[in-house]
């Protein structure tokens, strides 16, 4: 496993696209969060919104770049034929698959942490001093939201990686992942039946997972914050199992 991890890390750091996608994730996440925070009208009594969730809103766009990065890590090798070289050097496909997933996790964890903390810093600089409502990582709900958002980005990366391993094609994988993330929540808002709407919100990986960001009115959510993140983890686990099994059974 050590040699496999070293090989995957070498490939990741010597190719330009992962670095640019990570930088893009950080920039897009912080930029959108900054704009969203700057548009809030605050008074001495508060901002009228969940300020923690507002400062983390950039994840809505940052996750798309994480998904693209995760897809390209595996589908890029299929498109170039490099996957044959990888599997020849590492005949144990489960080991190769795990090494890619672990490397992806580490890369997204670093980039996600920078993006999330940058968003929080921007919010702290923009929002006025709200006393007890001020942004602070010593606050339990906010710390949970920040840590959970980084975990969410990692899970989105693993979900995308699993789907890309199963599908193999970059464009199809990216389209499928982005559709799953963004289209399902839109459908849930269009549906008039509140029961079906709430069910879709509980099942969709984005709407369920981003419940981890909520620090106010938590009891009104379809799922509790950690339960919602658990739904996203379930999607990621299912995609990884499917991708891993298909990698072992199919020819390169």
In order, the DSSP letters of 38-50 are HT---BTTB-SS-
Per-residue pLDDT at 103: 93
Question: How many Å from the N-terminal Cα to the C-terminal Cα in the chain?
Answer: 20
- Of residues 48 and 126, more confidently modeled: 126
The arithmetic mean of pLDDT across residues 105-111, rounded, is 95
Whole-number Å distance between alpha carbons of 159 and 235: 6
- Of residues 74 and 153, more confidently modeled: 153
Write the CB contacts of 218 (distance below 8 Å, at least 6 apart in sequence).
Answer: 141, 224, 225
Q: In a 3-state reduction of DSSP, which class is residue 111?
A: helix
The arithmetic mean of pLDDT across residues 117-121, rounded, is 92
- Of residues 43 and 149, more confidently modeled: 149
Percent of the chain clearing pLDDT 90 (strictly above): 45
Per-residue pLDDT at 116: 95
Per-residue pLDDT at 152: 97
- Of residues 136 and 218, more confidently modeled: 218
Per-residue pLDDT at 24: 94
Instruction: Report the number of secondary-structure helices (H) and strands (E) in the chain.
Output: 12, 0
Q: What's the pLDDT tens digit per position in 183-224?
A: 988 888 888 778 888 888 888 999 999 999 988 888 888 889
Count of CB atoms situated within 10 Å of the CB of 196: 12
Say yes or no to pLDDT of 112 above 90.
yes
Domain with 84, as residue range(s), is 2-249
Into how many domains does the chain fold?
1
Average pLDDT over all residues of the chain: 86
Per-residue pLDDT at 39: 80
Q: What's the pLDDT tens digit per position in 226-244?
A: 999 999 999 999 999 999 9
Percent of the chain clearing pLDDT 70 (strictly above): 92
The arithmetic mean of pLDDT across residues 141-149, rounded, is 92
> To which H or E segment does residue 25 belong?
helix 16-38
Per-residue pLDDT at 32: 93
Say yes or no to pLDDT of 16 above 70.
yes
Whole-number Å distance between alpha carbons of 92 and 195: 46
Per-residue pLDDT at 135: 64
Q: 101 vs 78, 93, 95, 171, 190, CA distance in Å?
A: 16, 12, 10, 20, 35
Per-residue pLDDT at 194: 82
Contact of 112 with 149, CB cutoff 8 Å: yes
- Of residues 174 and 6, more confidently modeled: 174
């Amino acid at each position: 496993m050590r040699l496999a991890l070293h090989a995957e890390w070498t490939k990741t750091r010597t190719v330009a696209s992962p670095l640019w996608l990570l930088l893009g994730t950080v920039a897009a996440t912080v930029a959108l969060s900054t704009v969203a925070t700057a548009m809030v009208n605050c008074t001495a009594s508060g901002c009228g919104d969940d300020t923690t969730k507002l400062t983390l809103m950039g994840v809505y766009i940052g996750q798309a770049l994480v998904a693209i990065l995760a897809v390209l890590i595996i589908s890029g090798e299929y498109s170039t034929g490099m996957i044959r070289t990888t599997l020849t050097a590492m005949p144990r496909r489960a080991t190769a698959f795990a090494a890619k997933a672990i490397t992806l996790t580490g890369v997204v964890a670093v980039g996600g942490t920078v993006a999330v903390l940058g968003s929080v810093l921007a919010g702290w600089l923009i929002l006025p001093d709200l006393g007890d409502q001020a942004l602070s990582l010593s606050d339990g709900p906010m710390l949970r939201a920040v840590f959970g958002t980084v975990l969410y980005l990692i899970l989105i990366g693993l979900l995308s990686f699993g789907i890309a391993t199963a599908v193999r094609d970059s464009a199809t994988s990216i389209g499928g992942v982005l559709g799953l993330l963004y289209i399902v929540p839109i459908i849930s808002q269009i549906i008039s039946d509140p029961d079906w709407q709430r069910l879709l919100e509980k099942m969709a990986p984005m709407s369920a997972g981003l419940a981890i960001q909520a620090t106010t009115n938590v009891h009104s959510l379809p799922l509790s914050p950690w339960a919602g993140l658990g739904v996203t983890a379930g999607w990621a686990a299912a995609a990884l199992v499917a991708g891993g099994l298909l990698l072992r059974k199919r020819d390169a």
